[in-house]
Amino acid sequence: MNTQHKAGIEGQADLPRAGRPPRIGQRESGGIQMSHWKTLLTIGVAVGLVVVLAGCQQGEKAAGNVRTGPAGSGAVRVLMEDNTFQPQVLKVPAGSPVTVEVRNAGDKSHNLTIEGLHVSTGAMHHGDVKTVTFTAPKGATEFSCTWHRGMVGRIVAT
């Protein structure tokens, strides 16, 4: 028997026969198996979640001179409420170490991040208190909660 008759015309052995629809989910159909679609979808969702969470993690870890607990007397006090800092303007001496007690009185988790000084409290949940010490340069420096757009304040050092 001729081998061409067994396998069909050379190069066409893998093509579906005319009149028959391709078999979905079969590798021979030239498509992707359904289990492969599920795997691709799962990978896509996982990558998307990692990207979103990575963006949300900015300000997640403490940076700079930060410790857990209240500050002593003479510290500047900042209260974080949902979407605001109180006070929104901190007046401090320029070029000298400043100690700030940060307290989260809001229902949401927040952070106080001073990007220009590479300082962050990291994640603070309702009731958390942290003490931050930094030296402010003369002029204005912004601080913010990196998780809540518009939750900003200013440090004015003279």
Q: Is the pLDDT of residue 37 over 50?
A: yes
The mean pLDDT value of the chain amounts to 81
Distances (CA, A) of 33 to 13, 22, 36, 85, 140: 20, 12, 5, 54, 59
CA atoms lying within 13 Å on the CB side of residue 16: 13
Delimit the domains of the chain by residue range.
3-56, 65-157
How far is it, in rounded angstroms, from Cα 120 to Cα 106?
A: 18
Output 116-119 pairs: Cβ under 8 A, ≥24 positions apart.
116/141, 116/142, 117/64, 117/141, 118/63, 118/64, 119/63, 119/64, 119/65, 119/66
Q: Is the pLDDT of residue 49 over 70?
A: no
Who has greater pLDDT, 43 or 98? 98
Please tell me whether the overall predicted TM-score, pTM, comes out greater than 0.85 for this model. Answer: no
Would you say 86 and 102 are in contact if contact means Cβ atoms under 8 Å apart?
no
Sequence-distant (≥ 6) Cβ neighbours of residue 86 within 8 angstroms? 78, 79
Q: pLDDT confidence of 58, banded at 50, 70, 90?
A: very low
Would you say 122 and 61 are in contact if contact means Cβ atoms under 8 Å apart?
yes
Q: Is the pLDDT of residue 158 over 70?
A: yes
* pLDDT score at 155: 97
Backbone angles phi, psi at 126, to 5 degrees: -50, 125
How far is it, in rounded angstroms, from Cα 105 to Cα 100?
A: 15
Q: Is the pLDDT of residue 122 over 80?
A: yes
Domain covering 65-157 in this structure, CATH number: 2.60.40.420
Q: pLDDT confidence of 60, banded at 50, 70, 90?
A: confident
